[in-house]
């Protein structure tokens, strides 16, 4: 179901459809990551103008497409200067994330252990990603943060999830690499 039509949307959907029929999750995410990088760099897909508008008080999530046949969803995220996430997971779903505009800093975390709702993490790597780059997350290696490091520029990323991501676990820092786990419902911002 196309939520909003935009130039090249059919080309994007066809590339995702061809990727998600691969035989296993690593093959799906590798094929999709390569296709997404190619589409971003070629500029054959032009995202709607509204995804380049930040919302001010939070990063924006705008669903562009949801596949009734394959179950995946495509969400554009708009990151105002300095906006980012806490450590979070993807509720067990794989995801491919591509940077469309600006730059993002992604930090991956390793889960070291947990006691009840307290979790201990260690940062295991970070990258600065620019336009045309993409990465993937495959559970159980899905814990990460995303942040727009710019003081004045908006960043835009495109996220393809194996399903509809309507909630996730977020981890609030308590100190000494310990975090409190909370469930967060994820909303969508309007497309205009």
Structural domains in the chain, sorted by start: 9-185 (2.60.120.10)
pLDDT of res. 117 = 86
Sheet strands (E) in the chain: 60-66, 73-79, 87-88, 95-101, 104-115, 118-129, 134-137, 144-147, 155-161, 167-175, 178-185
- Percent of the chain having pLDDT more than 70? 98
- Distance (Å, whole) CA 30 – CA 25: 8
Each residue of 88-99: pLDDT tens digit? 999 999 999 999
* Region class of 128: left (phi > 0), else alpha (psi between -120 and 50), else beta: beta
Q: Is the pLDDT of residue 1 over 80?
A: no
In this prediction, residue 27 carries a pLDDT of 97
């Amino acid at each position: 179901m196309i939520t909003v039509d935009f130039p090249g949307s059919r080309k994007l959907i066809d590339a995702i459809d061809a990727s998600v029929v691969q035989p296993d999750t690593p093959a799906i995410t590798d094929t999709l990551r390569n296709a997404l990088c190619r589409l971003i760099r070629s500029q054959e897909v032009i995202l709607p103008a509204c995804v380049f508008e930040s919302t001010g008080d939070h990063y924006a999530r705008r669903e562009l497409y949801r596949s009734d046949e394959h179950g995946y969803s495509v969400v554009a995220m708009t990151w105002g200067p300095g906006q980012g996430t806490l450590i979070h997971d993807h509720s067990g779903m794989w995801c491919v994330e591509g940077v469309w505009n600006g730059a993002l800093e992604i930090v991956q975390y390793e889960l070291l252990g947990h006691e009840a709702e307290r979790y201990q993490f260690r940062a295991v790597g970070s990258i600065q990603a620019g336009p045309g780059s993409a990465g993937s997350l495959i559970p159980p290696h899905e814990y990460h943060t995303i942040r727009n490091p710019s003081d004045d520029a908006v960043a835009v990323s495109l996220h393809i999830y194996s399903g509809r991501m309507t909630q996730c676990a977020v981890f609030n820092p308590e100190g000494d690499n310990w975090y409190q786990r909370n469930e967060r419902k994820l909303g969508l911002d309007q497309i205009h």
